[in-house]
């Protein structure tokens, strides 16, 4: 079973300089009970993708093609009202900055009971569930924590409270957008481990967005690599990280200083920049920066299957 | 030595009226940076690394200790007396775009130090020279900061920092917020300039992978103190302080098959208002023994200094983990 299946999704923004094709033919699946990572650098379309899934594209943006099937329904065809009913109970989110999710002037306890307004439980039961959830995310002394305000918690605890709130309604899909980026290394790994544990207990699927390759490798079972609004490669994390087939994935992995176990004074880079998405080249989007560019790359590349479930959008891939 | 710091303390007042007190943001640190050397300060949020760097640059008053720069004591300097110092010691700030004035062209940004210090020069030629040193074409001189990518903005920040041929550059998180493919560019540039211009550098970062590739020596900070100092390579090969070992192990690597023998730290970083007794890391240390809670360890060693009663042997695993593994 797949929870979310995205097929040939296209998103376009109207700008003064013409239409900006932000996502082009994006396809991937989030299977049930699986953690799927999306990795890519600034400007690769990660945030646009999340906003499209959540129905929160800016006013000048629109889904210009393709479908996003969530539990048998195409999210791009739902009314704003139907989307509001889905967001939260069915599709929950955690963002980079927990203070964006927490109201600074309302106690944590009240916020955690408020979000259960559709559950039909009594206030005592709601509070009990809030305490249980805080305990699961290892907030010390959860009963007392209910009366406290967000600023009275450390950054790591605030993010754990945001995770607790997102998972409280046991959603089918959790979208986590760079949830550990602002945390220190030791807190980051603790948060990843917690997320993994909660995902297994609740049995939800997770779409985990990060630019941190190490975190993706550690947490995710599948990975989707994005570049300039396209999915250039996808597969299981092992397939993609151990035998990357798209030149961009290859270069990106090379660039991570963590992969250079011996000390080097000259670190690899990817010269060039992401092209202007208002004028996409007709051929491969990565061709201008690619070290394996050939004449055929001026024509649109196919989604070439490497092996089961492992695909790369590149002319140079041979199965 | 281009920079020598001895027993430096920075305190911040807290509380009001009756219960006024002070916390130590930097609680007595000593280190040296030789000419042409890169020294890295590593630590998590709140460990005091930025405060220490600001104190070295006299942007932050110190409460005790000595700072000697290029053979001269500088810790007492105030006001106008600090100005000549800033030619010799340049600061690179964290936010690449935010530290550049949005209404000023790149040409004027990189030559600003000449005007500030009243240095006579052909500013147009200097701008071209500085931009080419950091690998940007002359066209960039006419751009505004919002027309730069993150990596280009960093380069402009570097160009401004090296404008007056400083002896020391202090770089606060030089790669924060940059994509991995661009991060390498900036680090390569810093390495290259250091070799060509003989610059000494003090780099502040929480990214250990970055430290490994740029720093000759490093210090690990915890609650405003150095817990371990030494050659970068030696510390990466065999961290001796449990906190260093935990930090190094908390670096997820982009390899799904990598064994995750991680040292997890219980509890959170203690408040500076209530420093633990004895070794200040003992509340989170998996190896802590009774002595650690009562007696503060003195830093041992010369080149490699470790503030721990029981330094780790190479490859040591926390006691609890070994039990469950067997």
Q: Are A203 and A282 in contact (CB under 8 A)?
A: no
Search chain B and give the residue with CA nearest A183: B45
Domain of residue B225 covers 3-237
- Of A258 and B147, the one with more pLDDT: B147
Residues forming a β-bridge with A35: A206
Round to whole Å and give the CA distance between A240 and A82: 36
Q: What is residue B298's DSSP assignment? A: P
* ipTM for this prediction: 0.81
- For A62: left if phi > 0, alpha if psi spans -120 to 50, otherwise beta; the answer is beta
Segment A278-292 shows an average pLDDT of 91
Q: What is the mean pLDDT of chain B?
A: 89
CB of A31 within 8 Å of a chain B CB? The answer is no
Are B213 and A154 inside 8 Å of each other by CB?
no
Band of pLDDT at residue A319, cut at 50, 70 and 90: low
Provide the pLDDT for residue B326: 34
The shortest C-alpha distance from B22 to chain A (Å) reads 21
Give kind and range of the element (H or E) at residue A6: strand A2-15
pLDDT digits (tens, 9 = 90+) for B50-73: 899 999 999 999 999 999 999 999
Give kind and range of the element (H or E) at residue A93: strand A91-94
Round to whole Å and give the CA distance between B3 and B321: 42
Q: Which residues of A touch B210 (CB under 8 A)?
A: 257
Are B257 and A242 inside 8 Å of each other by CB?
yes
Position B323 pLDDT exceeds 90: no
Measured distance between the N- and C-terminal CA atoms of chain B, rounded to whole angstroms = 49
Q: Is residue B66 domain-resident?
A: yes
pLDDT digits (tens, 9 = 90+) for A14-56: 998 889 999 999 999 999 999 999 998 888 999 899 999 999 9
Are A157 and B233 inside 8 Å of each other by CB?
no
Interface of A with B in 38-67 (CB under 8 A): 41-42
Q: Is residue B166 domain-resident?
A: yes
Provide the pLDDT for residue A45: 92
Q: Are A30 and A4 in contact (CB under 8 A)?
A: yes
Q: What is the mean pLDDT of chain A?
A: 92
pLDDT digits (tens, 9 = 90+) for A163-172: 999 999 899 9
Are B181 and A184 inside 8 Å of each other by CB?
no
Round to whole Å and give the CA distance between B5 and A154: 32
**% of chain B residues with pLDDT over 90:** 54
Least-confidence region, from A29-38, B2-11, B191-200: B191-200
Of A185, A213, A241, the CB nearest to B250: A185
Position B325 pLDDT exceeds 70: no
Are A214 and B191 inside 8 Å of each other by CB?
no
Return the closest-CA partner of residue A165 out of A132, A141, A143, A196. Answer: A132
Q: Is residue B138 domain-resident?
A: yes
Q: Is residue B58 domain-resident?
A: yes
Identify the CATH number of the domain in which residue B187 sits: 3.40.50.300
Q: Is residue B278 domain-resident?
A: no
- For A170: left if phi > 0, alpha if psi spans -120 to 50, otherwise beta; the answer is left
Q: Are A259 and B209 in contact (CB under 8 A)?
A: no
Provide the pLDDT for residue A232: 96
Q: Is residue B73 domain-resident?
A: yes
Search chain B and give the residue with CA nearest A221: B256
Of B181, B253, B268, the CB nearest to A156: B268
Total domains present in chain B: 1
How is residue A94 written in tokens?
């955690």
pLDDT digits (tens, 9 = 90+) for B223-281: 999 999 999 999 999 999 999 999 988 888 888 887 677 888 877 788 888 899 999 99
Residue whose pair of structure tokens reads 């640059």 in the numeric block: B57
Provide the pLDDT for residue B32: 95
**% of chain A residues with pLDDT over 70:** 100
Segment A58-63 shows an average pLDDT of 94
How is residue A7 written in tokens?
């097929």
Search chain B and give the residue with CA nearest A248: B181
Provide the pLDDT for residue B171: 92
pLDDT digits (tens, 9 = 90+) for A74-107: 999 999 999 999 998 999 999 988 888 899 999 9
Q: Is residue B289 domain-resident?
A: no
| Strand ranges for chain B from DSSP E | 3-14, 21-33, 38-42, 64-69, 72-73, 89-92, 168-172, 200-205, 217-222, 225-231, 305-306
* SS3 assignment for A16-65: CCEEEEEEEEEEEEEECCCEEEEECCCCCCHHHHHHHHHCCCCCCEEEEE
Provide the pLDDT for residue B320: 62
Q: Is residue B298 domain-resident?
A: no
Provide the pLDDT for residue B324: 39
Position A58 pLDDT exceeds 80: yes
List the domains of chain A with CATH numbers.
2-90+172-313 (3.40.50.300), 99-170 (no CATH)
pLDDT digits (tens, 9 = 90+) for B93-118: 877 777 888 899 999 999 999 999 99
- Of B151 and A198, the one with more pLDDT: A198
Position B137 pLDDT exceeds 70: yes
Provide the pLDDT for residue B161: 92
Segment A229-237 shows an average pLDDT of 96
Instruction: Please give the full DSSP string across B250-297, using - where no structure is assigned.
Output: T---S-TTS-----PPPS-PPPGGGPPSSSTTTTT-TT--GGGGTSPP
The residue count of chain B comes to 326
């Amino acid at each position: 079973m797949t929870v979310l299946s995205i097929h040939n999704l296209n998103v376009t923004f109207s700008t003064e300089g013409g239409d900006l094709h932000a996502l082009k033919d994006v396809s991937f699946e989030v299977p049930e009970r699986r953690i799927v990572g999306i990795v890519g650098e600034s400007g690769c379309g990660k945030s646009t993708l999340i906003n499209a899934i959540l129905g929160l594209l800016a006013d000048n943006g629109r889904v210009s093609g393709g479908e996003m099937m969530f539990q048998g329904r195409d999210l791009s065809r739902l009314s704003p009202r139907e989307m509001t009913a889905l967001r939260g109970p069915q599709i929950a989110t955690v963002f980079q900055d927990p203070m964006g999710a927490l109201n600074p002037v309302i106690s944590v306890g009240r916020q955690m009971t408020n979000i259960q307004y559709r559950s039909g439980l009594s206030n005592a039961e709601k509070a009990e569930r809030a305490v249980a959830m805080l305990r699961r995310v290892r907030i010390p002394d959860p009963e007392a924590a209910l009366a406290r305000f967000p600023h009275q918690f450390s950054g790591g605890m605030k993010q754990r409270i945001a995770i607790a709130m997102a998972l409280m309604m046991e959603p089918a899909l959790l979208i986590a957008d760079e949830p550990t980026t602002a945390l220190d290394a030791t807190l980051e790994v603790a948060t990843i481990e917690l997320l993994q544990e909660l995902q297994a207990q609740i049995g939800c699927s997770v779409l985990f967005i990060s630019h941190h390759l190490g975190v993706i490798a550690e947490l995710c079972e599948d990975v989707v690599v994005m570049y300039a609004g396209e999915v250039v490669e996808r597969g299981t994390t092992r397939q993609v990280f151990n035998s990357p087939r798209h030149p961009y994935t290859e270069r990106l992995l090379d660039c991570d200083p963590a992969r250079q176990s011996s000390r080097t004074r000259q670190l690899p880079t990817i010269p060039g920049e992401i092209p202007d998405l208002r004028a996409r080249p007709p051929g491969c989007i990565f061709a201008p920066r690619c070290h394996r560019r050939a004449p055929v790359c001026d024509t649109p590349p196919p989604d070439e299957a490497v092996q089961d479930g492992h695909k790369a959008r590149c002319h140079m891939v041979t199965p | 030595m281009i920079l020598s710091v001895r027993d430096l303390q920075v305190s911040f007042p807290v509380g009001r009226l009756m219960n006024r007190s002070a916390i130590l943001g930097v609680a007595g640190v000593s280190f040296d940076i030789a000419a042409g050397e890169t020294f890295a300060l590593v630590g998590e949020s709140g460990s005091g690394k930025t405060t220490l760097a600001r104190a070295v640059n006299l942007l932050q008053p110190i409460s005790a200790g000595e700072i000697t720069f290029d053979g001269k004591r500088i810790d007492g300097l105030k006001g106008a007396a600090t100005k000549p110092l800033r030619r010799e010691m340049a600061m690179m700030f964290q936010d690449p775009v935010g530290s550049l004035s949005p209404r000023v062209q790149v040409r004027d940004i990189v030559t600003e130090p000449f005007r500030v210090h009243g240095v006579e020069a052909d500013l147009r030629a200097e701008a071209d020279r500085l931009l080419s040193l950091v690998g940007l074409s002359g066209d960039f001189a006419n751009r505004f900061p919002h027309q730069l990518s993150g990596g280009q903005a960093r380069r402009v920040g570097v160009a401004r920092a090296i404008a007056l041929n400083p002896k020391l550059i202090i770089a606060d998180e030089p790669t924060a917020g940059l994509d991995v493919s661009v991060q390498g560019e900036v680090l390569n540039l810093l390495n290259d300039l250091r070799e060509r211009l003989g610059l000494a550098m003090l780099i502040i970062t929480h990214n250990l992978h970055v430290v490994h590739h740029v720093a000759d020596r490093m210090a690990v900070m915890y609650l405003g103190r150095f817990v371990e100092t030494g050659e970068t390579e030696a510390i990466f090969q065999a961290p001796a302080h449990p906190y260093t070992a935990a930090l190094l192990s908390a670096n997820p690597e982009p390899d799904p098959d990598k064994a995750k023998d991680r040292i997890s730290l219980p509890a959170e970083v203690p408040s500076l208002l209530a420093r633990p007794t004895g070794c200040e890391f003992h509340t989170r240390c998996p190896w802590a023994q009774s002595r650690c809670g009562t007696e503060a360890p003195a830093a041992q060693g010369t080149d490699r200094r470790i503030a721990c009663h029981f330094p780790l042997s190479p490859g040591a695993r926390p006691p609890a983990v070994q039990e469950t593994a067997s």
